[in-house]
Chains A and B, each alone.
Chain A
């Protein structure tokens, strides 16, 4: 199953023509993501990370360069890529079940029900299928949104700050859940975030982007073993090295070796 979901981004640039001058949202983006990898894109607001994600999912169609999924140039949305938005975007007029079933086509009612049930199970929403979005908490809504994005068994799941609106504890809990779902589904996941710890906890690879123009500053691979220990020494070290990219690391004037 591991020969799917390889993403190749080559010389991608995106320019909006403004009144006086052009705005370079993305410039010279080169990145390759292996099948089954968990990659985080991290950067300050306005660095184009969400734009890049929208290009990958196909909501923004015009771009220079190539974005290739398993060798094929992407052009518009397709069912082989799922997305979870920051605001869960569940349809409030539909139950959780019906929201999850939205993307399923060409199946009998029975097959549909099986797919929906198994995905409700996958994201741990058992017993909430008949509820409406207004009856769910933030975390539960995002679980439902993840299930909705996964029903078509996409090769890649894109996550646009999916946990940004949740409280800190729920977010940590959802990190574990995301990791579990990622392992179980064995798919490529690309997440946009501005939470360094979140990126470190989940990712095989962290892409640091800088703004104006939006370009990749550094790609950091995270070789830590899973499940990761947030309190561990290696984790803290890695966190420092990522924060260094943003000039946010702690200045150590002396270092002691024991």
Chain B
């Protein structure tokens, strides 16, 4: 590893940690001074103890795994459908005219509004996965269309000179040049999926998962565990986004041209 990069990363890490550490300290002292009542709001040590308890019991890992698998399924389905829709709208005028109005109308409906309908499909897992898939679909589709729209016409002329057919035009021009934009869509889609998995587990409950666990803890007034769940959700979401951003940077390197 390069020492300079490590140093820069360390600096960023320290700078980013200042605010959360400060908040943690304030919370700690407020609890310690009994300004916050321990009965209504737990202290940091309560939360830590709660975390250790559910971690040892395996409850947290188990529910986290359920959520991650659920998100993976929903995201994969949604992103694939979104990509196909994006490619169709981006490549074909007829498809654009036919699909765009419906797509843009459906897009205006908040995802939770689909929940009552999804329960009709099934009361269990498929409806939760579908709930996530709907949310993951839009950003991927929109960004793919945007990526295709922004391809310079000049590149297609080069393709014409070399007598590219439809397949080569897609594989050599459209797919690679729109991919960084699609990747942005995938990153946003994954974030949305992670937000929605919690909502899905609350709306369509008792299927396990981190959201379900959080809701159950709320019902039993284990606020310390609710906070454990919230922090876990935040950290997992943060990590996902971070990794996707890294991937985006790697795949957009060639964009330095213009």
Residues of A within 8 A of B (CB): 57-59, 77-79, 81-83, 85, 87, 89, 91-94, 102-103, 132-134
Q: Does B157 contact A (CB under 8 A)?
A: yes
User: Interface size class for chain B?
Assistant: 10 to 19
Say whether B172 contacts A132, CB under 8 Å.
no
Interface of B is mostly: helix
Say whether B161 contacts A83, CB under 8 Å.
yes
Q: Which residues of chain B in 122-177 are interfacial with respect to chain A, using CB atoms and an 8 Å cutoff?
A: 154-155, 157-158, 160-163, 172-173, 176-177
Q: Does B258 contact A (CB under 8 A)?
A: yes
A78 CB contacts on chain B under 8 angstroms: 163
Cα distance A228–B231 when bound, in Å?
76
Say whether B163 contacts A77, CB under 8 Å.
yes
Say whether A92 contacts B163, CB under 8 Å.
no
Say whether B154 contacts A93, CB under 8 Å.
no
A133 CB contacts on chain B under 8 angstroms: 254, 257
Sample of 4 more A-B contacts, CB < 8 Å, known A59-B160, A82-B161, A92-B257: A85-B158, A132-B257, A134-B256, A134-B257
Interface of A is mostly: loop
Q: Who on chain A is nearest to B253 by CB?
A: A132
Cα distance A174–B162 when bound, in Å?
25
Q: Who on chain B is nearest to A85 by CB?
A: B154
Of the candidates A77, A92, A93, which one forms a contact with B160 in the assembled complex, judged by CB atoms under 8 Å apart?
A77
Cα distance A87–B153 when bound, in Å?
13
A87 CB contacts on chain B under 8 angstroms: 154
- In the assembled complex, the CB of A109 is this many whole angstroms from the nearest CB of chain B, namely 16
Q: Does B93 contact A (CB under 8 A)?
A: no
A82 CB contacts on chain B under 8 angstroms: 161
Say whether B177 contacts A91, CB under 8 Å.
yes
Q: Which residues of chain B in 171-212 are interfacial with respect to chain A, using CB atoms and an 8 Å cutoff?
A: 172-173, 176-177, 179
Q: Who on chain A is nearest to B173 by CB?
A: A91
Cα distance A83–B160 when bound, in Å?
11
- In the assembled complex, the CB of A83 is this many whole angstroms from the nearest CB of chain B, namely 6
Cα distance A57–B157 when bound, in Å?
11
Q: Does B255 contact A (CB under 8 A)?
A: yes
Say whether A89 contacts B158, CB under 8 Å.
yes
Cα distance A216–B158 when bound, in Å?
28
Say whether B254 contacts A79, CB under 8 Å.
no
Say whether A79 contacts B163, CB under 8 Å.
yes
A57 CB contacts on chain B under 8 angstroms: 161
A83 CB contacts on chain B under 8 angstroms: 161
Say whether A89 contacts B154, CB under 8 Å.
yes
Cα distance A85–B179 when bound, in Å?
25
* A93 and B254 contact, Cβ closer than 8 Å, known pairs A85-B154, A87-B154, A102-B172: yes
* A79 and B255 contact, Cβ closer than 8 Å, known pairs A91-B172, A91-B177, A102-B172: no
Say whether B163 contacts A89, CB under 8 Å.
no
- In the assembled complex, the CB of A53 is this many whole angstroms from the nearest CB of chain B, namely 12
Of the candidates B157, B173, B255, B257, which one forms a contact with A59 in the assembled complex, judged by CB atoms under 8 Å apart?
B157
Q: Who on chain A is nearest to B252 by CB?
A: A93
Cα distance A81–B161 when bound, in Å?
8
Say whether B160 contacts A94, CB under 8 Å.
no
B162 CB contacts on chain A under 8 angstroms: 77, 79, 102-103
A85 CB contacts on chain B under 8 angstroms: 154, 157-158
B253 CB contacts on chain A under 8 angstroms: 132
Cα distance A49–B162 when bound, in Å?
22
B158 CB contacts on chain A under 8 angstroms: 85, 89, 91, 102
Say whether B154 contacts A94, CB under 8 Å.
no
- In the assembled complex, the CB of B237 is this many whole angstroms from the nearest CB of chain A, namely 30
13 sampled A-B residue pairs with Cβ under 8 A: A59-B160, A77-B161, A77-B162, A79-B162, A79-B163, A81-B161, A89-B155, A91-B176, A92-B254, A93-B179, A102-B172, A103-B162, A132-B257
Cα distance A103–B253 when bound, in Å?
24
Cα distance A91–B161 when bound, in Å?
14
In the complex, the 6 A-B pairs of residues with the closest C-beta atoms, listed nearest first: A92-B257, A134-B257, A103-B162, A134-B256, A93-B176, A93-B254
B179 CB contacts on chain A under 8 angstroms: 93
Question: Interface 1/0s, chain B 59-93, versus A by CB < 8 A?
Answer: 00000000000000000000000000000000000
